[in-house]
A and B are shown apart, each in its own frame.
Chain A
Amino acid sequence: MKKFMLDLSVKENKILSDQYHLLILTSAEKLPEILPGQFAEVRVDGSATTFLRRPISIHYIDYDANELWLLIQVKGDGTKRLAQMTAGESLNLLLPLGNNFNEPVEKDASVLLVGGGCGVAPLLYLGAHLKRNGFKVNFLLGARTKDDLIELCEYERFGNVFTTTEDGTLGERGFVTQHSLLNGSNFDYFYTCGPTPMMKAVARHALKTKAICEVSLENTMACGIGACLCCVTDTTEGHVCVCTEGPVFNITKLKWQI
């Protein structure tokens, strides 16, 4: 896929919680085609301590409204600056980068999209894509507490939503992998993004139930286009760049101890 460097303008900055913001970007030009699971390298201007671009998942694309959504979790100075952006400001992005989630081969496959923390970001667009292609979509989303479970109504547009919180303030108490859904039903496909221990637990469950499992990795990156070789992960084919061979990997390719 051809990659672009684009200046998009901020249409809206929605405050979702004290740590999550939704940046809705738009352009006078038609946005390029982007696949679920791909990401953008975002240049952060006006943050003295942010030197490199920040790799950020494509949260959602609305081609009709020509909108690209980025979910921003305020973690450091760079994401703090992104969270302060106001309508009309310009943001420079390289996109679309990386590979994509692969949809199931069988049309009647049961799929579960499992997200934790900011790792929920690519799953909204993936869910929309799968629903549009005729799949029945289920989301299992986890967070520390109910305030961090954001935009649930957005996910509900595309499938069933199940939740867990560590403090039990919403959904079942505990981690996503402890949810009763995983004991009761068998899923053919798991797609997951979030903290590594969570993804490993999902991968373990998928292996046990002989399901296919794709994970999206969040290694730190510099270039985002396969030039610097900084973001590698160890695979059955040796060290490969997460930015070009990933971010989405089938767990059978990774050398995870699971």
Chain B
Amino acid sequence: MANLNINIGKLQLKNPVMTASGTFGYGSEYSDFLDLSRIGGIIVKGTTIRARQGNPYPRMAETPSGMLNAVGLQNKGVDYFINHIYPTVKDIDTNIIVNVSGSTIDEYVETAEKLNSLENIPGIELNISCPNVKEGGMAFGTSCLSASQVVRAVRMAYKKDLIVKLSPNVTDISEIALAVEAEGADSVSLINTLLGMAIDVEKRRPVLSTITGGLSGPAVKPVALRMVWQVAQAVKIPVIGLGGIMNASDAIEFMLAGASAIQIGTANFIDPTVTIKVIDGINAYLDRHNFQSVTDIIGALEV
């Protein structure tokens, strides 16, 4: 049994497997299927300063080896999270990280400040990459200037671990990663969904109410892996890799490319126990290759 412990910025994880925001609810949705305390970290649903209804139905389209979503950050707001959800998740023996989004810098800051006081929330993931909202979201994550501004402002207000989730819908993701590193991000997670589209030819209409949406699932994995590789070369802070991971082998690919931890998203919809299988699979891989620790495979790609 190899050592699976890994530190990401200020976070201590019992293993490198986390769940991606928006795919695992608040954890409780999955508790009938698995022991939540076995997971390294749970990144809960994107949270905003005020409640959001999200986009109209239809919000989802199945695509080859993946899916498009256009949920649009539906959530009940940070105060609801603090008063009603936090009490139910705070004692789960894992890292509960809140994904934070906003339409303005002030909204990001205000939400982060409120979460700063929650003892059992060791970090937040700043979502500057949601493709499904009209204002804010991805707009912050697609230029170095705006990404820097929002991370700088949140960094001043939020003292615990700060992960910044990057958008792949940019020309050079490394530049954005360097910009948020310079402003004090503890780590970066990538990739958020790729902007995509689906059309119903019989109706000659878009499938999604928002016309475009975010592509996830194994269809995006090679793109995500390439971006994780590029960013890991560029920055000194840890990289959390995600994008289409379906099994332990996929997870190990991201770690070899330089990710210190990984997130599993869309795969939870097909197998609610996939996180446990990935943890066990990574462990078996380490044993099989005589690695003592999971840290031995981070960036161990030989080129």
Contact = CB atoms under 8 A, between A and B. Distances in A.
Of A43, A53, A227, chain B has the most CB atoms within 10 Å of the CB of: A227
B269 A53 contact: yes
Contacts of B23: 223, 227-228
Interface string B213-242: 000010000000000000000000000000
B54 A232 contact: yes
Interface residues of A, number: 29
Interface stretch (A1-9, A139-147, A187-195): A1-9
Contacts, number: 89
Of A5, A51, A53, chain B has the most CB atoms within 10 Å of the CB of: A51
A201 interface: no
Given A49-B64, A238-B53, A230 B59 contact: yes
B74 A223 contact: no
Interface string A217-249: 001111111111111111000110000000000
Interface string B266-285: 10111111000000000000
A168 B22 CA distance: 48
B254 interface: no
Given A51-B217, A226-B25, A230-B69, A239 B60 contact: no
B270 A229 contact: no
Contact of B71 (A4, A52, A225, A230): A230
Given A4-B32, A222-B60, A227 B74 contact: no
A61 interface: no
A224 B273 CA distance: 14
B53 A239 contact: yes
A137 B155 CA distance: 64
Contacts of A4: 32
A94 interface: yes
Given A228-B22, A228-B71, A43 B30 contact: no
A228 B273 contact: no
B63 to A, nearest CB: 8
Contacts of B119: none
Contacts of B33: 3, 5, 94
Interface string B70-94: 0100100000000000000000000
Given A228-B60, A228-B69, A52 B270 contact: yes
A29 B53 CA distance: 42
A232 B29 contact: no
A233 B58 CA distance: 9
Contact of B29 (A52, A220, A225): A225
A4 B24 CA distance: 17
A18 B28 CA distance: 42
Interface string B247-291: 000000000000000000010111111000000000000000000
B212 to A, nearest CB: 15
A20 B42 CA distance: 41
A232 B74 contact: yes
Contacts of A50: 62
A227 B29 contact: yes
Contacts of B268: 223, 227
A234 B268 CA distance: 25
Contacts of A3: 32-33
B67 A51 contact: yes
B65 interface: yes
Contacts of B64: 49, 51
Interface of A: 2-5, 43, 49-53, 94, 219-234, 238-239
Given A222-B269, A227-B29, 10 more contacts: A49-B64, A50-B62, A51-B270, A52-B62, A220-B62, A223-B23, A225-B30, A226-B25, A227-B25, A239-B57
Interface of B: 22-25, 29-30, 32-33, 45, 53-54, 56-67, 69, 71, 74, 217, 266, 268-273
24 contacts: A5-B33, A50-B62, A51-B62, A51-B63, A52-B62, A52-B67, A53-B269, A219-B58, A222-B269, A223-B23, A223-B269, A225-B25, A225-B272, A227-B24, A227-B25, A228-B60, A229-B54, A229-B71, A230-B59, A230-B60, A230-B69, A231-B57, A234-B56, A234-B57
